[in-house]
């Protein structure tokens, strides 16, 4: 039986890596690792204890047990965005290093080839989601676009453990391969609610939920007295003897 554990995870990936020359690719690779390490130092996170998997323009990191979620979401991301801005200063537009980043907290245990569990898969879906890519594409002057999972948003940002306000995030629905869930997106320097994320209709990926998003609770949260519970059922229901209420 594998070892069960919940860990804090970070994933980053560069936009447009395959479209730049070899010299720029080398510069980006060196800058990504340096900027991540600098941001970890500023945020008080022990970089030497991170387990990282590097793939050219991408980095997947599992932080040590007990690592601070607020530190990763707030001072780390602020320093990372600042470092990217400094790196890109005086560089031609096509050589800008622009990153997508995702933060998640969930089950991840050491395995033969990295880590196993739901969280590594889920953070990969957040990072590669169409909606996060669209957010960075829709903000041409942005250096960073961040997605955080529902767990991180509700427990860290929604509970005011950071200086970043919940209103700076936009709630979206992620549907990638076998993963479907909610995430919250922030693009420093932009009103993310105004960005065109390719929304096609209510409930579509990229659907808005921003200012009121702090009220969203995970599915596992118990229903409190006085709460209204609504179940939407599609199709025929076989329930002899059941009583259904109708709210007007």
The more confidently predicted of residues 37 and 53 is 37
Asked if the structure places residue 51 within a domain, the reply is yes
Instruction: List the CATH number of the domain containing 185.
Output: 3.30.70.1230
CB 122 within 8 A of CB 149: yes
Element containing residue 43 per DSSP (H, E): helix 22-43
* CB under 8 A, 24+ apart: contacts of 18-21: 19/94, 20/94, 20/95
Candidate ranges 43-47, 117-121, 217-221, 240-244; pick with highest mean pLDDT:
43-47
- pLDDT digits 0-9 by tens, 63-105: 999 999 999 999 999 999 999 999 999 999 999 999 999 999 9
What confidence category does residue 114 fall into, taking pLDDT thresholds of 50, 70 and 90? low
The dihedral region occupied by 19, where left means phi > 0, alpha psi between -120 and 50, and beta the remainder, is alpha
The stretch 159-178 carries a mean pLDDT of: 91
Indicate the number of domains in the chain.
1
* pLDDT over threshold 50, residue 15: yes
Asked if the structure places residue 231 within a domain, the reply is no
Element containing residue 120 per DSSP (H, E): helix 118-128
Asked if the structure places residue 129 within a domain, the reply is yes
136: domain range? 6-215
Asked if the structure places residue 229 within a domain, the reply is no
Asked if the structure places residue 204 within a domain, the reply is yes
Asked if the structure places residue 208 within a domain, the reply is yes
Give percent of the chain with pLDDT exceeding 70: 76
Asked if the structure places residue 242 within a domain, the reply is no
Asked if the structure places residue 223 within a domain, the reply is no
Mean pLDDT lowest among 32-36, 201-205, 218-222: 218-222
Mean pLDDT lowest among 41-55, 178-192, 213-227: 213-227
pLDDT at site 206: 54
* pLDDT over threshold 80, residue 172: yes
pLDDT at site 176: 74
CA 35, CA 30: separation in Å to the nearest integer? 9
């Amino acid at each position: 039986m594998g070892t069960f554990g919940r860990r804090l995870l970070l994933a980053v990936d560069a936009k447009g890596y395959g479209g730049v020359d070899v010299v720029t690719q080398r510069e980006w690779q060196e800058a990504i690792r340096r900027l991540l390490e600098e941001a970890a130092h500023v945020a008080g996170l022990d970089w030497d204890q991170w387990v990282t998997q590097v793939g050219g323009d991408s980095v997947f990191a599992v932080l040590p047990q007990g690592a601070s979620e607020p530190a990763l979401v707030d001072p780390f991301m602020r320093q990372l965005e600042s470092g990217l801005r400094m790196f890109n200063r005086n560089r031609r537009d096509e050589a800008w290093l622009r990153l997508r980043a995702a933060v998640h907290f969930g089950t991840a245990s050491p395995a033969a080839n990295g880590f196993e569990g739901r969280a590594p898969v889920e953070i990969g879906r957040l990072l590669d989601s169409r909606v996060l890519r669209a957010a960075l594409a829709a903000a041409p002057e942005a250096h960073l676009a961040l997605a955080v999972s529902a767990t991180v948003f509700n427990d860290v940002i929604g509970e005011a453990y950071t200086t970043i306000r919940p209103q700076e995030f936009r709630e979206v629905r992620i549907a990638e391969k076998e993963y479907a869930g909610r995430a919250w997106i922030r693009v420093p320097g932009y009103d993310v609610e105004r960005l065109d994320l390719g929304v096609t209709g209510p409930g579509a990926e990229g659907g808005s939920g921003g200012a009121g998003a702090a009220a969203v609770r995970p599915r596992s949260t118990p229903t409190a007295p006085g709460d209204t519970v609504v179940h939407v059922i599609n199709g025929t229901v076989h329930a002899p003897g059941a009583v259904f209420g109708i709210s007007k």
